[in-house]
Amino acid sequence: MVILIPTIFILSLFFTFLFRKVGKRYKIYDLATDDLLKIHKESIPCLGGSSIILATSVALLFSSDYRLFNIAIAGFLIFLLGFIDDLSWRDKFKIKRLYKFLFLVLFSLLVSIILLSVGIKIEFFPVIAWLMTFACIFVLINAVNYQDGTDGLAGGLVSISLIGFIVLSISGNNSLGLALSVGSLLAVLGFLVFNFPPAKIFMGDSGSYYLGFVLAVLVMIFSKSYDFYNILGLMFLLGIPLFDGVFTNIRRIVNKKSIFLGDREHFYDRMLKKGLSIRKTVLLSYLLQTIFILIGLSIY
């Protein structure tokens, strides 16, 4: 793993640079439109998720733990769902949100089965481990996707969470958690070089879904049966994506709005509305996420 560290980061840089060129060449953009959900002024390539999963896969392939093969397969399926969205659905033609929701449910179920087959699951309530495993995947792929609304935010927040999981992996001598968290962190950092404000490439739904999946797997790896402090600590290690995602859905339900319809009322949107620049908003979010991770580690 030590030898692979610079390799993974460099590969991520290379792949991100490459997919930025590919996105421009074939006009695979997140288009700048008058859509309320879009704040970028220019169309930006949205293939960054491809660079993240390819660079992470290098770390997984060189690990001797057989479970990483299943994780890689499951992660690819989640990535593929977002990738199809990035290529076909985004601004090309409208797909009913209900159909997209059903795809998210089906893929989350399929991925849960793949992980359960090698014993990776949420251990908190063993009797309903399969249900909690599915819920964990479904919630977190959407939670990270919610944060992918401004330059550098989703990747940075996930990176800080991954550092927390690296600490847990080292302190608990967990090689599976260490391989996944270190490999993913290096891949995201290489992408962030091009995504930090002002962004030159976006991760797209493929990237946000995949990173949400990675966090879900890490939660499963470190979950324990009937341990309240364990699950509470893991919740804080997820930080802003989880808390903002839960609050967002509660807010939409209370206001009698569909949870499937996006808005600009997330935590970071509120800071932008107060007049903070994108960069200051992102850095302040990083600081808050770091505080959450420190609390989570102390609880865990």
Lowest mean pLDDT among 70-84, 88-102, 187-201: 88-102
Does a structural domain hold residue 293?
A: no
| Average pLDDT value for residue range 116-130 | 92
Domain count, the chain: 1
Does a structural domain hold residue 271?
A: no
Does a structural domain hold residue 78?
A: yes
| Average pLDDT value for residue range 147-170 | 96
Does a structural domain hold residue 129?
A: yes
| Confidence band, pLDDT 50/70/90 cuts, at residue 87 | confident
Residue 113 has pLDDT above 90, yes or no: yes
Does a structural domain hold residue 275?
A: no
Residue by residue, DSSP assigns the chain as -TTHHHHHHHHHHHHHHHHHHHHHHTT-EE---S-TT---SS-EE--HHHHHHHHHHHHHHT---THHHHHHHHHHHHHHHHHHIIIIITTTS---HHHHHHHHHHHHHHHHHHHHTTT-S--SSGGGHHHHHHHHHHHHHHHHHHHTTSTTHHHHHHHHHHHHHHHHHHHTT-HHHHHHHHHHHHHHHHHHHHHSSSPS---HHHHHHHHHHHHHHHHHHH--TT-HHHHHHHHHHH-HHHHHHHHHHHHHHHTT--TTS--S-SHHHHHHHTT--HHHHHHHHHHHHHHHHHHHHHH-
Does a structural domain hold residue 234?
A: no
Residue 29 has pLDDT above 80, yes or no: no
- Domain span at residue 117 reads 4-226
Does a structural domain hold residue 281?
A: no
Partners of residue 30 on adjacent β-strands: 44
Lowest mean pLDDT among 13-22, 55-64, 183-192, 238-247: 55-64
| Average pLDDT value for residue range 58-86 | 88
Does a structural domain hold residue 243?
A: no
Check if the beta carbon of residue 191 is closer than 8 Å to that of residue 203. Answer: yes
| Confidence band, pLDDT 50/70/90 cuts, at residue 141 | very high
